[in-house]
Amino acid sequence: MNSLDIISSCKDELRDVFSIIDNIALSNQEKVLNAFKNNSIALRHFAPTSGYGYDDIGRDSLNKVYAEVFGAEDAIVSPHLLSGTHALCVGLFGLLMPKDKMLSITGMPYDTIRPAIFGKDTGSLADYGINYDEIPLNNGQIDIDKVCTYLRKNKVKLVYLQRSRGYEWRNAFTIEDLKLAIEKVRTLSNAIIYVDNCYGEFTDTVEPTQVGADIIAGSLIKNAGGGLAPTGGYICGKSSLIAKIENRLTTPNVGREVGSYAGDYRLFYQGLFLAPHVTAQALKGALLFSKAFTEIGYETLPRSCEKLGDIICSIKFGDKDKLIKFCQCVQGASPIDSFAIPEPWDMPGYSNQVIMASGSFVQGSSIEISADAPIKEPFIAYVQGGLTFEHIQIVLKRCIDAISS
């Protein structure tokens, strides 16, 4: 079969799953629409501000819209949260005090968070005397028995969960997985439940804050920004906790009273409005990549029947050159910088060399189609995003052709 036939037959087989994804997008679109209406969003909310940014209604209303969409009491959404890592760190530093303990129950956190948790002489949580422990995953699942045993014996201030797969060979946790784990933790501990929600937004009809998480954080150049947000991050959750975190975002007692933005806020609002649809495009893309690469003989995740919790497809290449060729092909089929040829490099925040294909309108945006991979055995590429399902199919076709030739 040629690549077009493979893609076409995979699409046929995925029809039922695609229709589930369409329904998720429909539900989320209505949720976002209602939040805009309930907050009377108008053109004036897009206006840029300067200086201290007192009474910046664009900023304040964006916080309210996010809080409603994520079913949370309050939210911080800001272009001054520079990335997902920064949003996650601001939240952790806002909530944890010296001698407190943070426990990750989804194993080792994502690469770029690690130096912030246990780095030496970097201003990490560890440098401030904040303790850290983790319960490794058991076959890609939360080891709830070990978590319970740990919580019975130890006082824990904050329980940390990472929803998406990071650079692990596992699926993302579904909302049901998170709900079960959170309920169990709740019976034994009054710890703050903190979820890294990167890549998880709008993959289901509810968010972790609606199944018991106290705080969630993520990036606006992934799902929630809908491909339009030019930068930024968000933190949503309980108002008492957001009140602490906002003092870390700016300064104690000033919190969100300040913070101007000289760009305009339209792209944050419009991006959120598009996010349910764009996320659905990316989910379909992840499933199609996964199925098509299985057809041509590679091991992939997710397997198409599985319920999704992030927008990523993992492809095990088992071969460094094939992996690099794949990433270069994704770059070449991107709208921006298609002439660039990505190479592995020592990227800040990552422990292995990584190769990243990202020919995106917003630099490094991974809700746009992108592929990245740490250069280590068994040479797994993580593909995500795509603003339109049409573009994703074109990229997929070219990748199959390149890898098979």
Binding site for ligand PLP (CB under 6 A): 83-85, 110, 112, 162, 164, 166, 196, 198-199, 219
Of the pair 81, 241, the CB lying nearest ligand PLP is at 81
Of the pair 329, 367, the CB lying nearest ligand PLP is at 367
**Three-class secondary structure of residue 194 per DSSP:** strand
Of the pair 104, 328, the CB lying nearest ligand PLP is at 104
User: Closest separation between CB of residue 382 and ligand PLP, Å?
Assistant: 9
Nearest to 165 by CA among 129, 198, 130: 198
User: Closest separation between CB of residue 218 and ligand PLP, Å?
Assistant: 8
Q: Note whether 85 and 349 are within 8 A (CB).
A: yes
CA 373, 350, 114, 193 torsion: positive or negative? negative
User: Closest separation between CB of residue 112 and ligand PLP, Å?
Assistant: 5
User: Closest separation between CB of residue 42 and ligand PLP, Å?
Assistant: 30
Of the pair 45, 163, the CB lying nearest ligand PLP is at 163
Of the pair 46, 93, the CB lying nearest ligand PLP is at 93
Q: Note whether 216 and 207 are within 8 A (CB).
A: yes
Sheet holding 380-384, edge to edge: 299-301, 312-316, 380-384, 370-374, 354-357
User: Closest separation between CB of residue 197 and ligand PLP, Å?
Assistant: 9
CA 45, 49, 53, 54 torsion: positive or negative? negative
Of the pair 53, 166, the CB lying nearest ligand PLP is at 166
Nearest to 205 by CA among 307, 73, 78: 307
User: Closest separation between CB of residue 110 and ligand PLP, Å?
Assistant: 3
Bin 386: left if φ > 0, else alpha if -120 < ψ < 50, else beta: left
Say how many residues make up the chain: 405
